[in-house]
Structure 1
Amino acid sequence: MNETANRLLAADEPAAVTVRNKDGQSPFLIVVDHAGNAIPRALGRLGVAPAELERHIAWDIGAAAVSRFLADELDAALVSQNYSRLVIDCNRAPGLEASIPEISEFTPIPGNVGLIENQKRARVREIFRPYHDTIETELDRRRQEGRRAVLIAMHSFTPVFKGVARPWHAGVLYNRDPRFADILMALLKREQGLLIGDNEPYSVSDESDYTIPVHGERRGLPHVEIEVRQDLIADTSGQRAWGALLARLLPQAYQELVAAGAPGSARVP
Structure 2
Amino acid sequence: MRYNICGYSQEILLNYNLDCNDATLLRTFMDIYTSSSEKLEYITIENEKFVWLTYGYISEQLQLLGSPRTIKRKIDKLIEKNILKRVILNSKNKKAGKYMYLAPGENYSVFENKNTEEKNQMTNTPHQVTKCHKGHDKVSLDPMTSCQVKDSSIIDSSIGDNNNTHTEEKALPIIADIMKKYNELNLPKYTFRPKDRIIMECIRTLGAVNFFKALEIMSRSSFVKNTFSINMIFKIDNLKNALNGTFNDRKKSPEKETLLNVSNKKTYKPNKNNEELFKLLGLR
TM-score (norm 1): 0.29
Structure with the greater alpha carbon radius of gyration = 2
Bigger fraction of residues in strand: 1
With CA pairs under 8 Å and 6+ residues apart, which has the higher RCO, 1 or 2?
1
TM-score (norm 2): 0.28
